[in-house]
């Protein structure tokens, strides 16, 4: 009898804490003291850990900016490396607060996976990487070729569409992990490797023994707006995540940089700059953040342009042109709604 | 209404009552756990607007599959993609079971060879392959196929059989005539090919499992009393007949039950194919899970498929075991 | 003289045997020099990538181990702190080894295990003066050994209850235990790991889900308990019915009978089988790499996949960790045979 009572008591004890409702994302982040950020397991330029466990990349920088804006400290990020297959459930289940893992924004994902995309960090398109010695000049010449691809990505479906539309009859070899897919490509199992062009550049320039041995074909076969996503059901957190990204983009537009942000915050008389730095209007209050949330974010990682140049731009091994990712007034697509 | 003796049995300390109580508590606890998890899941899904249900199986899959036993097109529905995956799993498992049984039996018999080198080699093989994780073996074979073998354009050939990075190619009956494989621009053209993924999974399963089967066969043969063999010799039976009529029937009784679990292991271990890109049911489910976000549904399908195959293998082997078992009385 | 007769009997007993010996001798002469040449003579032992590239195809590059061994053995654990997992693993292995020696089979083992586990987690995780290393950076051999040891330590006690439950006279308990055992044994470990890693967080209220390492450990325990339960049940079935009747006649209750009469005998019988299950667990922890925990197999792939210079020498890497696994598993299987003999004699 005693044992029964004990068992029931244990069952109840287990049930009570779980019954309580989880707080809002922002509150729980403040309480935990860190932002749990889902990142790629290793894609140089986007998110990659060195052997010391330090993360860098443009996706990682966004997480740092978010942590700086919310907690005032860019180091308060818990990185959760995720495979393509794991990422959505990790976000849905609350294991991570934000998914910043070069994820393509599509209707199906937005509407049925229980998440909200907050914007686009990198406008991309899918391409093919082939060995230079295969002398292939166009994807259309690869009839019947085997193509290595990572599972659980939009790339897998785009490849199918492209192959169908052009009657190429390509054979996908699908891997769960990107290391396995690139490993198989480099060993010669596949005639081509396909993923977003930025990913191809990353693989070619960082993982190939000699980048010149591999060529990225000119065709881009899809639109791949890559951006972070948050869980549905918390509009306040959605707004914060969105505006940190917009803020970083707008900071570039108004030449607010990592180096000058504190000086500008103190001295600038430009009304737009004063609003962004929280000097004139307290936009932070509207979001539930500190007044100088944008100053902290820019101070931590720089503006969007600096993030781009540092991680993937022409001066990095990835050597990606600014292209579509330039500011709207410089011929690109990056256009942030105004902070006001 | 109750007789006094009956009432007396219903004391707190009576065994029947305690038994009942234990059962009620156990059922309640399990029921509570299931309810708790199910409730959370539904709650989570509702709160985020995650779509659920098996209706997605009827929608078009939209992705290609590298190898398929049945005609499959990307516009076919998800259920057909799953079917392709299931058939791929069964294909590698069934061929694996056949080859591993053959190989394992030879290994087991080899342990009784008159030749010390054969005995030693069989022993060394068994110990080596069963003491290294199967996943490592799969990865190793895949690496051998993709790294060591020559490119498609210059395959290693033995007659019409070709080995290259495109896998193992052999002549096959295509559209009413024999077609012989030849290197094309990106793949082998003509004939039929077993992809490196398939070959690696198959080899991993066969090498690993045959080591265990060899040990089972050895134990089975060792369990046959020596006197039986001596008696058979005394009767003048030739060695072949001795094995077929005396040793094997008795050894099989010892062998079948553990062999059954090895067959189940092959089927279950074929799920590791996902690590090297063979499109088995786990790999298809993974892709579907990502495209549709139906995590619960896709993982239940995986589990259901393996449960059904495991249970039916077990049923078949039990039936076979009954047939070879000693008919008592 | 004796040698000669041995050779005749074992190598040239009949025509087939002689043929096999000759074929083998020819193969050795044909291939052994090449193999030795690849493995030793032409092989590169120093961590020199150019020498390795030059020797490619003719000699093995063991230099890849010399260069990458720390990443392979410790995974992503911070470089300067790697003495911690090393020490923790040595402690754990030492105790595991001690537990295998009959002389130490006393009750002192229980507190010893508890202390070693506490120290192990303190060293691995940090705190109390050590810097904190989050679980996603744990990896390599320490993770492999930790996962397999925890899995057996958790699964074994659970399996005893489940096995007893499956033989229970109470229908509801028997059904629950049978369904659990058959369900788990019917599905592959990969699906359980997927469930623990992807799905389980969805089953819990938002943000209440435990660390992925803990989820995987629980998954492993539940999985292996089903297998061990069948092993234990085999032991239980070996106890003659007369003993149960005797226990009942002297007035022992169910739990007393199990504890004092049945289990001591049944568990002694199943020790070799349990050691064999431990070997299986040890090998199968390699599967957790599929859900992104970088134990030994996974650590090898992070060590080599992202490094273009060393990637071609992955085969040598695989051979190296295969040798590690083999050493552990072979030693344990010898131990299991030894225990089996002890049980039969004792």
ipTM comes to 0.90
Find the chain A residues whose C-beta atoms sit closer than 8 A to any C-beta of C: 17-18, 21-22, 28, 41-42, 49, 51-53, 78-83, 85-86, 89-90, 92-95, 176-177, 179-180, 182-183, 186, 206-209, 231
Interchain pair C78, A53: CB under 8 A: yes
Residue A14: predicted pLDDT: 45
Q: Residue written as tokens 């993923």?
A: A195
pLDDT band at B275 (very low <50, low <70, confident <90, very high): confident
Q: Which residues of A touch B274 (CB under 8 A)?
A: 176
Number of helices (H), then strands (E), in chain A: 14, 13
Pairing of strands A146-150, A171-175: parallel
- pLDDT of amino acid A15: 44
Beginning with the edge strand found earlier in the chain, give each strand of the sheet holding A192-196 in spatial order: A171-175, A146-150, A192-196, A126-131, A214-216
Of all residues in chain A, the percent with pLDDT exceeding 70 is 92
User: Is the pLDDT at C150 greater than 60, yes or no?
Assistant: yes
The answer to whether the CB of B213 falls within 8 A of the CB of B252 is: no
Q: Are C314 and B136 in contact (CB under 8 A)?
A: no
Answer whether B272 touches C (CB < 8 Å): yes
- Each domain of chain C, given as residue ranges in start order, spans 133-345
Show which of residues 42-61 on chain B sit within 8 Å of chain A, judged by CB atoms.
Answer: 44-45, 47-51
Mean predicted confidence (pLDDT) in C81-107: 87
Cβ–Cβ < 8 Å for C190, C178: no
The pLDDT, as a whole number, for residue B92 is 95
Q: Which residue has the tokens 């259920």?
A: B79
Structure tokens at A123: 């406008």
Average pLDDT over residues A142-153: 87
Question: pLDDT for B90-116, tens place per residue?
Answer: 999 999 999 999 999 999 989 988 889
Nearest Cα of chain B lies from the Cα of C297 at a distance, in angstroms, of 7
**What chains are in contact with A, requiring at least 3 Cβ pairs below 8 Å?**
B, C
A140 touching B, CB under 8 A? no
By C-alpha distance, the chain C residue nearest A96 is C207
Cα(B169)–Cα(B162) distance, rounded to whole angstroms? Answer: 5
The residue ranking higher by pLDDT, C197 or C148, is: C148
Q: Per-residue pLDDT tens for A5-24?
A: 444 444 444 444 433 333 48
pLDDT exceeds cutoff 60 at C316? yes
Euclidean distance between CA atoms C263 and C109, whole angstroms: 19
**C311 and A51: CB-CB below 8 Å?**
no
DSSP character at residue C127: B
> Is B275 in CB contact (< 8 Å) with chain C?
yes
Q: What are phi and psi of C139, to 5 degrees?
A: -175, 180
- Name residues 143-202 of chain B within 8 A of C (Cβ): 143-144, 147-148
pLDDT of residue B328: 53
**Closest C-alpha to C182, from B261, B219, B194, B48:** B261
Those residues whose C-beta lies under 8 Å from the C-beta of residue A85, and which sit 6 or more positions away, are A151, A152, A176, B286, B289, B290, C198
Q: Find, in chain A, the residue whose alpha carbon is nearest to that of C70.
A: A51
Q: What is the DSSP string of B198-247?
A: HHHHHHHHHHHHHHHHHHHHHHHHHTS-HHHHHHHHHTT--HHHIIIIII
Question: Which residues lie closer than 8 Å to C178 by C-beta, 6 or more apart?
Answer: C166
User: Quick one: pLDDT at residue B44?
Assistant: 83
Residues of chain B in contact with residue A176, where contact means CB-CB under 8 angstroms, are: 274-275, 277, 283, 286
Same fold, A24-123+225-319 and A126-222: yes
Q: What are the chain B neighbours of C13 within 8 Å (beta carbons)?
A: 114-115
Whether the predicted pLDDT of C79 surpasses 50: yes
Which of A27, A95, A207 is most worth mutating to test chain C (most C CB atoms within 10 A of its CB)?
A: A95
pLDDT at A290: 92
Residues of C in contact with A17 (CB under 8 A): 208
Residue B269, both tokens: 């271990």
Four-CA torsion B241, B243, B244, B246, nearest 10 degrees: 90
Percent of chain C with pLDDT over 70: 98
Q: Could you tell me which of A47, A20, A48, A221 has the C-alpha nearest to residue A139?
A: A221
How confident is the model over A185-222, as pLDDT tens digits?
Answer: 998 899 999 999 999 998 998 788 888 999 999 999 99
Task: For residue C49, give the nearest of C316, C299, C298 by alpha carbon.
Answer: C316
Q: Do C297 and B148 touch (CB under 8 A)?
A: no
Write the DSSP symbol of residue C47: S
For residues B53 and C279, the model is more confident at C279
Residue A23 has a pLDDT of 42
Chain A, chain C: beta-carbon pairs less than 8 Å apart: 82
Please give the pLDDT value at position A19. Answer: 34
Chain B partners of C335 at a C-beta cutoff of 8 Å? none
Residue C125 contacts B where some CB pair is shorter than 8 Å? no
Residue C271 has pLDDT above 50, yes or no: yes
pLDDT band, very low/low/confident/very high, at C193 (cuts 50, 70, 90): very high
Degrees to nearest 5, angle at CA B293 with B288 and B295: 80
If you average pLDDT over residues A236-249, what whole number do you get? Answer: 95
* CB proximity B96 to A under 8 Å: no
- Is the domain spanning A24-123+225-319 CATH 3.40.920.10? The answer is no
Average pLDDT (C69-92) is: 90
Which residues in chain A have their CB less than 8 angstroms from residue C309's CB? Answer: 209
Please answer whether residues A250 and A338 qualify as being in contact, where contact means their C-beta atoms are separated by less than 8 angstroms: yes
Q: What six digits make up the tokens of B42?
A: 């539904």
Residue C200, min C-alpha distance to chain A (Å): 8
Q: DSSP alpha helices (H): ranges in chain B? A: 4-9, 15-48, 78-110, 116-130, 134-143, 196-222, 226-234, 239-241, 248-269, 281-292, 295-324
Using the beta-carbon criterion (under 8 Å), do A4 and B50 form an inter-chain contact? no
Q: Round to whole Å and give the CA distance between C293 and C212.
A: 9
Report the DSSP pairing between strands A224-231 and A122-124: antiparallel
pLDDT of residue A21: 36
Architecture of domain C133-345: Orthogonal Bundle (1.10)
pLDDT of residue B11: 64
If pLDDT is split at 50, 70 and 90, which confidence band does C47 have? confident
Lowest pLDDT segment from B68-72, B303-307, B323-327: B323-327
pLDDT above 50 for A297: yes
B28-43 pLDDT tens trace: 999 999 999 999 888 8
Establish if C309 touches chain A: CB-CB under 8 angstroms: yes
State the pLDDT at residue A124: 93
User: Which phi and psi angles does C127 have, rounded to 5°?
Assistant: 95, 165
Q: Which residues of A touch C209 (CB under 8 A)?
A: 93-95
Look at A89 and C201 and tell me if their CB atoms are within 8 Å.
yes
Q: Which of B 199-228 lie inside 8 A of C, CB atoms?
A: none
| Contacts of C among chains (3+ CB pairs under 8 A) | A, B
CB burial of residue A212 (10 Å; 0-12, 13-18, 19+): exposed
**Contact indicator for A236, A26 with CB cutoff of 8 Å:** yes
Q: Which of B50, B184, B287 comes nearest A114 by C-beta?
A: B50
Q: Do A232 and B74 touch (CB under 8 A)?
A: no
Q: What is the mean pLDDT of residues A255-278?
A: 93
The alpha carbon of residue B245 is apart from the nearest alpha carbon of chain C, in Å, by: 22
Condensed to tens digits (0 to 9), the pLDDT of residues A110-134 reads: 888 889 999 999 999 999 999 999 8
Chain C CB contacts of A52 under 8 Å are 78-79
Decide if B197 and A159 are in contact by the 8 Å CB cutoff: no
Looking at residue C58, its pLDDT comes to 85
Cβ-contact A70, A26 below 8 angstroms:
yes
Average pLDDT over residues C9-34: 88
- Pick the residue of B42, B116, B137, B296 with the most C CBs within 10 A to test the interface with C by mutation: B116
Instruction: For chain B, list the contacting chains (3+ Cβ pairs, <8 Å).
Output: A, C
Fold of A126-222: D-Maltodextrin-Binding Protein; domain 2 (3.40.190)
- Name every chain C residue with its beta carbon within 8 A of the beta carbon of B51: none
> How close B191 comes to chain C (CA, Å)?
31
Given an 8 Å threshold on Cβ–Cβ distance, is A86 in contact with C198? yes
pLDDT score of A17: 40
Cα–Cα dist A203/A178, whole Å: 10
pLDDT band at residue B10 under the 50/70/90 scheme: low
Residue B262: per-residue pLDDT: 92
- Chain B interface mutation, best of A113, A152, A165, A183, highest count of B Cβ atoms under 10 Å: A113
Q: Which H or E run contains C53?
A: helix C49-54
Domains of chain B, first to last: 78-153+163-170+194-324 (1.10.3720.10)
Average pLDDT over chain A reads: 88
What value does the mean pLDDT take over residues B199-219? 95
Alpha-carbon distance of B166 to C38, in angstroms, equals 26
Long-range CB contacts for residues A32-35, cutoff 8 Å, separation at least 24: A33/A71, A33/A76, A34/A67, A34/A71, A34/A76, A34/A77, A34/A78, A35/A63, A35/A66, A35/A67, A35/A70, A35/A71, A35/A76, A35/A77, A35/A78, A35/A97, A35/A98
The ranges assigned to domains in chain A are 24-123+225-319, 126-222
Closest CA relative to residue A296, chosen from A99, A58, A67: A67
**Can you tell me the distance from the alpha carbon of B248 to that of B243, in angstroms, rounded to the nearest whole number?**
6
pLDDT of C169 reads: 87
Q: Could you tell me the end-to-end alpha-carbon distance of chain A, in angstroms, rounded to an integer? A: 67
Are C321 and B136 within 8 A, CB to CB?
yes
pLDDT in tens, B147-176: 888 888 888 888 888 888 888 888 888 888
**Which residue intervals of A20-83 are DSSP H helices?**
25-32, 58-71
pLDDT > 90 in chain C, percent = 41
What pLDDT score does A93 carry? Answer: 80
């Amino acid at each position: 009898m005693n044992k029964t009572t004990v068992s029931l008591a244990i069952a109840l004890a287990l049930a009570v804490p779980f019954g309580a409702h989880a707080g809002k994302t922002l509150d729980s982040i403040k309480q935990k003291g860190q932002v749990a950020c889902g990142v790629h397991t290793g894609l140089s330029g986007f998110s990659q850990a060195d052997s010391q466990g330090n993360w860098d990349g443009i996706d990682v920088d966004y997480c740092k900016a978010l942590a700086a804006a919310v907690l005032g400290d860019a180091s308060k990020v818990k990185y959760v490396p995720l495979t393509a297959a794991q990422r959505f459930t990790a976000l849905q289940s609350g294991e991570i607060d934000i998914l910043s893992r070069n994820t393509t924004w599509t209707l199906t994902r937005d509407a049925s996976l229980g998440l909200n995309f907050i914007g686009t960090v990198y406008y991309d398109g899918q391409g093919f990487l082939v060995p230079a010695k295969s002398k292939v000049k166009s994807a259309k010449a690869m009839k019947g070729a085997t193509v290595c691809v990572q599972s659980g990505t939009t790339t897998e479906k785009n490849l199918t569409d492209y192959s169908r539309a052009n009657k190429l009859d390509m054979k996908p070899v699908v891997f769960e992990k990107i290391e396995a897919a690139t490993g198989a490509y480099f060993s010669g199992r596949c005639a081509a490797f396909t993923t977003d062009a930025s990913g191809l550049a990353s693989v070619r320039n960082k993982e190939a023994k000699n980048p010149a041995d591999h060529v990225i074909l000119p065709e881009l076969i899809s639109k791949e707006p890559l951006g972070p996503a948050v869980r549905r059901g918390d509009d306040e957190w959605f707004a914060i995540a969105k505006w940190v990204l917009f803020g970083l983009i707008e900071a570039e537009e108004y030449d607010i940089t990592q180096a000058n942000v504190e000086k500008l915050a103190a001295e600038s008389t430009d009304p737009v700059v004063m609003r962004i730095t929280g000097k004139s209007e307290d936009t932070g209050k509207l979001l539930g953040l500190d007044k100088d949330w944008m100053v902290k974010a820019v101070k931590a990682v720089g503006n969007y342009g600096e993030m781009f140049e540092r991680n993937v731009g022409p001066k990095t091994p990835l050597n990606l042109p600014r292209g579509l990712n330039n500011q709207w007034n410089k011929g690109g697509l990056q256009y942030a709604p105004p902070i006001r | 209404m109750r007789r006094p003796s009956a009432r007396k049995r219903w004391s707190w300390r009576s065994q029947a009552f305690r038994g009942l109580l234990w059962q009620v508590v156990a059922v309640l606890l399990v029921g509570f756990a299931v309810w708790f998890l199910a409730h959370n899941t539904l709650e989570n899904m509702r709160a985020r607007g995650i779509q659920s249900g098996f209706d997605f199986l009827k929608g078009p899959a939209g992705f290609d599959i590298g190898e398929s036993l049945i005609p499959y097109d990307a516009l076919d529905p998800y259920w057909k993609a799953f079917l392709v995956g299931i058939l791929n799993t069964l294909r590698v498992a069934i061929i694996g079971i056949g080859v591993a049984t053959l190989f394992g039996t030879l290994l087991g018999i080899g342990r009784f060879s008159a030749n010390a080198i054969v005995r030693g080699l069989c022993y060394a093989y068994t110990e080596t392959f069963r003491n290294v994780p199967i996943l490592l073996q799969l990865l190793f074979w895949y690496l051998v196929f993709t790294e060591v073998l020559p490119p498609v354009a210059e395959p290693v050939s033995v007659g019409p059989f070709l080995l290259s990075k495109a896998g193992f190619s052999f002549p096959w009956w295509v559209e009413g005539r024999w077609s012989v494989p030849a290197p094309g621009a990106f793949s082998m053209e003509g004939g039929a090919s077993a992809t490196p993924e398939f070959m690696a999974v198959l080899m991993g399963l066969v090498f690993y499992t045959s080591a265990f089967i060899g040990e089972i066969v050895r134990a089975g043969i060792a369990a046959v009393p020596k006197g039986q063999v001596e008696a058979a010799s005394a009767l003048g039976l030739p060695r072949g007949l001795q094995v077929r009529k005396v040793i094997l029937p008795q050894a099989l009784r010892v062998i079948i039950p553990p062999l059954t679990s090895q067959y189940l292991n092959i089927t279950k271990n074929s799920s590791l194919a996902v690590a090297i890109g063979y499109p088995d049911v786990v790999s298809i489910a993974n892709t579907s899970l990502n495209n549709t976000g139906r995590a619960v549904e896709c993982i239940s399908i995986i589990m259901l498929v393996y449960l059904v195959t495991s249970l039916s293998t077990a049923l078949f082997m039990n039936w076979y075991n009954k047939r070879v078992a000693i008919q008592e009385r | 003289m004796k040698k000669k007769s041995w050779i005749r009997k074992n190598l040239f007993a009949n025509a087939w045997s002689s043929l096999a010996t000759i074929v083998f001798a020819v193969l050795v002469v044909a291939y052994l020099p090449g193999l030795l040449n690849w493995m030793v003579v032409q092989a590169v032992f120093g961590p020199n990538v150019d020498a390795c590239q030059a020797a490619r195809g003719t000699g093995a590059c063991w230099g890849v181990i010399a260069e990458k061994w720390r990443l392979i053995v410790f995974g992503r654990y911070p470089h300067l702190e790697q003495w911690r997992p090393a020490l923790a693993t040595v402690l754990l292995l030492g105790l595991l080894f001690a537990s295998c020696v009959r002389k130490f089979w006393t009750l002192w083992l229980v507190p010893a295990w508890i202390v070693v586990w506490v120290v192990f987690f303190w060293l691995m995780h940090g705190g109390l003066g050590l810097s904190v290393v989050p679980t996603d950076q744990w990896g390599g051999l320490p993770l492999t050994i930790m996962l397999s040891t925890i899995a057996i330590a958790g699964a074994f006690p659970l399996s005893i209850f489940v096995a007893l439950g499956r033989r229970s006279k109470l229908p509801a308990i028997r059904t629950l235990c049978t369904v659990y055992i058959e369900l788990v044994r019917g599905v592959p470990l990969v699906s359980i790991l997927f469930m623990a890693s992807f799905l389980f967080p969805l089953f819990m209220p938002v943000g209440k889900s435990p660390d992925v390492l803990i989820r995987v450990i629980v998954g492993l325990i539940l999985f292996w308990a089903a297998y061990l339960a069948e092993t234990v049940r085999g032991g239980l079935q070996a106890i003659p019915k007369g003993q149960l009747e005797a226990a009942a006649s002297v007035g022992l209750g169910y739990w007393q009978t199990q504890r004092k009469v049945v289990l001591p005998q049944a568990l002694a019988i199943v020790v070799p089988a349990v050691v064999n299950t431990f070997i299986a667990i040890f090998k199968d922890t390699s599967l957790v790499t599929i859900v992104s925990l970088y134990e030994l197999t996974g650590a090898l792939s992070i060590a080599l996949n992202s490094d273009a210079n060393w990637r071609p020498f992955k085969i040598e890497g695989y051979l190296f960790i295969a040798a590690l696994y083999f050493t552990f598993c072979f030693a344990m299987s010898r131990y299991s045979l030894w225990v089996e003999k002890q049980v039969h004699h004792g």
